[in-house]
Amino acid sequence: MGNHNQQGHVHEGEPYPYDLPHNPASQALRDEAAHYMELAGRFTDWLFDHTDHPIDLLAGDPDAIQEATLRERLIADQANTYQSLARQRLASARRDEWRTIYGTEPYEWPHCQQCHKDAAQARHQY
C-alpha cells in the first residue's frame, strides 16, 4: 500500500516524507534557506516596527512604495530578496531529495505528467 505524500495523493511504493535518506547536499540547501529566512525575518521585523504599512510595502503596493523612504524601500527589497532566495534553496533541496530517491525529476513521473496535463487543460477551459 502506498503512502500519502504532502499533497494528500497516494502513490504505490512512494516513501513517507519523513523516511527520506540523509542527503548532505539537500540538508546544506535547507540550512541555507533557514539562514535566509532568518535574515528576511529581521528585515521584516524592522519594517513592522518602523513603518505604517509594512505589508503593503512588502507586497510592492505602488502607493506604499511612493510614501516610503529610500531606507524603507531598500529594507523591504532586502526582505523580499532573502525570502525569494530561501524559496529557491528549498525548491532545490526538494528536487535533490527526489533525485536521490527516484533518480529522476518529479515532473518526469507519468502520474505527475498527467497532473500537469490536467491542470493545463483546466486553465485553457476558462
Look at 28 and 109; give whichever has higher pLDDT.
Answer: 28
Whether the pLDDT of residue 93 is over 70: the answer is yes
Q: Does 14 fall in a domain?
A: no
Decide which of 31 and 8 is more confident. Answer: 31
Q: Per-residue pLDDT tens for 61-83?
A: 999 999 999 999 999 999 999 99
Q: In angstroms, what CA-CA distances link 16 with 3, 6, 111, 121?
A: 6, 9, 17, 30
Assessment of whether the complete model's pTM goes beyond 0.85:
no
Question: Is residue 10 assigned to a domain?
Answer: no
Residue 7 belongs to a domain = no
Encode the chain in three state secondary structure: CCEECCCCCEECCCCCHHHCCCCHHHHHHHHHHHHHHHHHHHHHHHHHHHCCCHHHHHCCCHHHHHHCCHHHHHHHHHHHHHHHHHHHHHHHHHHHHHHHHHCCCHHHCHHHHHHHHHHHHHHHHC
105 domain residue, yes or no? yes
* Domain assignment present for 1: no
Q: Which domain holds residue 77?
A: 23-125
> Is 6 part of any domain?
no
Split into its structural domains, the chain has a count of 1
Q: What digits encode the pLDDT tens for the residues 12-63?
A: 555 545 555 667 888 899 999 999 999 999 999 999 999 989 999 999 999 9
